[in-house]
């Protein structure tokens, strides 16, 4: 393995360490950001509709996803960080 290069923790492709984001290559990091953004849109729709149960379910999905994928929404409140 070349010095200064590391495998992406998701897809395994080799990248310069400076290009990795929490161990993810830029492509995998973007995909996770898209998923989180989608969950955030679902959550906001539920909140806007006043649907407490749906917003609760989506918030739990977001927290589970953040924990399993080791990523988080940028502006997430401290109490929701995992």
Question: Each residue of 11-64: pLDDT tens digit?
Answer: 999 999 999 988 899 999 888 888 888 888 888 898 899 988 988 898 888 888
d(CA 63, CA 45): 17
Q: Where are the domains of the chain?
A: 26-80
- Residue-level pLDDT at 65: 83
Whether the predicted model's global pTM rises above the 0.95 cut: no
- Residue-level pLDDT at 26: 92
In which region does residue 50 sit, left (phi positive, over 0), alpha (psi from -120 to 50) or beta (all else)? left
Q: Which two tokens stand for residue 65?
A: 């996803």
Answer whether residue 82 shows pLDDT above 60: no
Answer whether residue 81 shows pLDDT above 60: no
């Amino acid at each position: 393995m070349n010095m200064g290069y590391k495998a992406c923790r998701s897809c395994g492709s080799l990248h310069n360490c400076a290009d990795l984001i929490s161990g993810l290559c830029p492509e995998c990091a973007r995909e996770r950001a898209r998923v989180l953004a989608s969950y955030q849109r679902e959550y906001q729709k539920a909140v806007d509709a006043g649907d407490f149960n749906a917003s609760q379910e989506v918030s739990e999905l977001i927290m589970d996803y953040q924990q399993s994928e080791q990523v988080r929404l940028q502006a997430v409140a401290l109490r929701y960080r995992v």
